[in-house]
Homo-oligomer: A and B are copies of this chain.
Amino acid sequence: MDKKRKPYQLVSREWKSEDTIVKLKHGHIGSGHFSVIAGPCAIENEDQIFTICEFLSKLNIKLLRGGAYKPRTSPYSFQGLKKEGLMLMRQAADKYNMDVVTEVMDTNLVDEVAQYADVLQVGTRNMQNYQLLRALSKINKPVLLKRGMSSTLEEWLLAAEYILSGGNDQVILCERGIRTFETATRNTLDLSIVPLVKSLSHLPIIVDPSQGTGIRELIAPMSLAAMAAGADGLMLEVHNHPEEALSDGAQSLYFDQFKDLIYRLQEAGTFFGKTLDFNTEKILI
């Protein structure tokens, strides 16, 4: 679509025409597969994470998300359980055969987080934290790179280029809503970027409708819309007690809502020709 010379190279379709597949312990992301990464906004305690993890495993969800180190706008908000949170996630994921996806906020924490996580997430506030991107280019684990809240497509792909050019080609892009004048939703989920990214880059791209909309009731329709737009998966917030969540309760799905959505995504996956981790035969609930 864009004929002018692009400032990025390794992330481009011109450089590598076939889809990149990001390999995980329990599956993969990309290339016709539709992945669901789910879990709470933050790890709060052992009971919470094991309860959620058990629930997810019954739906054959293979990727557990959850914040241990939380970037919070206020220094007085709950900052996460930190190392204890990482350990709890790891134990829960191991028990239920899942991969752990969690955020790393600083170069100093890369080793510690990499010890417990299977996929290291770069949050929206750190998309242009270039020292962190360089550090992540040297590890041998996949990186999930969220779009900056006011980052252009080009800046986002260049942030990914930092990681690839340092030697790590296992990068998953994640659209999570951009900042606009509209306040009816928490952010404006930019789904058009999905087919545009897929035409310009070989990297898989997933969508986070929880952060993207901030409104629980919009998550199911926007999840289906993301699949229809060509996304390789979703990142979803789910909680056993959303109304008591320490953060982001208003955008966390109830178990019943989440289960309904997974069933619906499964049907839609069949229609859109996507393979999925979950399928009705195996689902236990």
Residues of chain A at the chain B interface (Cβ within 8 Å): 1-2, 7-8, 71-76, 105-109, 125-126, 128-132, 149-150, 152-155, 158, 161-162, 165-166, 178-185, 188-196, 199, 209, 212-213, 215, 217-218, 221-222, 224-230, 267-268, 271
Contacts and interface: CB of A to CB of B under 8 A. Distances in A.
Contacts of A74: 7-8, 158, 161
Given A161-B75, A267-B271, A192 B188 contact: yes
B128 A106 contact: no
A2 B193 CA distance: 28
Given A225-B225, A268-B271, A154 B191 contact: no
Contacts of A106: 106-107, 129, 131-132
Contacts of A75: 130, 158, 161-162, 165-166
In the complex, the count of this chain's copies comes to 4
B105 A192 contact: no
A226 B192 CA distance: 11
A13 to B, nearest CB: 13
Contact of A192 (B73, B222, B267): B222
A8 B226 CA distance: 31
B212 A192 contact: yes
A8 B193 CA distance: 32
B180 A188 contact: yes
Contacts of A196: 184-185, 215, 218
B130 A72 contact: yes
Contacts of A218: 192, 195-196
Contacts of A128: 71, 73, 125
